[in-house]
Amino acid sequence: MGFLDFLKAKPKSCQSCQKEYPNLHKYNPIYFENKETRQSPLLIPRLLCNDCFLRQVKEDILNYKDKIVFIEPQLPEGYSFRKFADDEGKGNKVDYTPLKTFLPQDNSTCNKCGQTARFTWVFGTVIKDSQFRGEPLKFKNKDECSEYKYLCAEHLMEEFSESIKDNELFFMEFWPIKGFGDGYCW
Ligand SMILES: [Zn+2]
Ligand SMILES: [Zn+2]
């Protein structure tokens, strides 16, 4: 085996369609906060190709009845859904409550098609530029950041797939949208 062979990515099989791809997403079926069931042998993470991954995320979104703020994914390390209720009273280092201001209202409509919108797409500019190294992340609220849009499930998926394609993201860990209650993906 030549030295350069080490650098070539071996194709891996998608665990849904069985086809081979150079890159796959790791879809972890367990809700991020649910540490008890994280070890469940029935819920093992699956490696999925981009098409199968997007199909699974769409199914999750269509089954979800509450509202979600999606922050444009930027890093392949991980992307997870969390409910705002999980953070309450925890005194987390990062304050996620400003993201709550981006939740759609009951009468909010999709910026692209005018249907009812349950999702908000927020661009990376929602993160405040930090002044000091090592400072915890800070988020802007809706008054401080105009780069967001309300979307229906169809157009949210369109935005999400375009974004991961443009940024060539393959998630090393993706925790799904499950349960109920307003939340955010980040
Ligand atoms: Zn596949
Ligand atoms: Zn729409």
Side-chain-facing half-sphere of 181: CA atoms under 13 Å: 12
Residue 11's pLDDT band (boundaries 50, 70, 90)? confident
10 CA distance to ligand 2 middle (Å): 38
What pLDDT is stored for residue 153 in this prediction? 97
Q: Is 47 left (phi over 0), alpha (psi -120 to 50) or beta?
A: beta
Whole-number Å distance between alpha carbons of 4 and 6: 5
Ligand nearest to the CA of 53: 1
Q: Helices in 50-117 by DSSP H: which ranges?
A: 50-63, 84-87, 97-100
Ligand nearest to the CA of 51: 1
Statement: the pTM of the whole predicted model exceeds 0.85: yes
151 CA distance to ligand 2 middle (Å): 5
175 CA distance to ligand 1 middle (Å): 18
119 CA distance to ligand 2 middle (Å): 10
Ion ligand 1 neighbours, Cβ < 5 Å = 14, 16-17, 49, 52
Q: Taking residues 154-163, what's their average pLDDT? A: 97
Average pLDDT, the chain: 90
70 CA distance to ligand 2 middle (Å): 15
Domain range summary for the chain, segments of one domain joined by +: 10-185
Ligand nearest to the CA of 104: 2
pLDDT per residue as tens digits for the range 140-158: 999 999 999 999 999 999 9
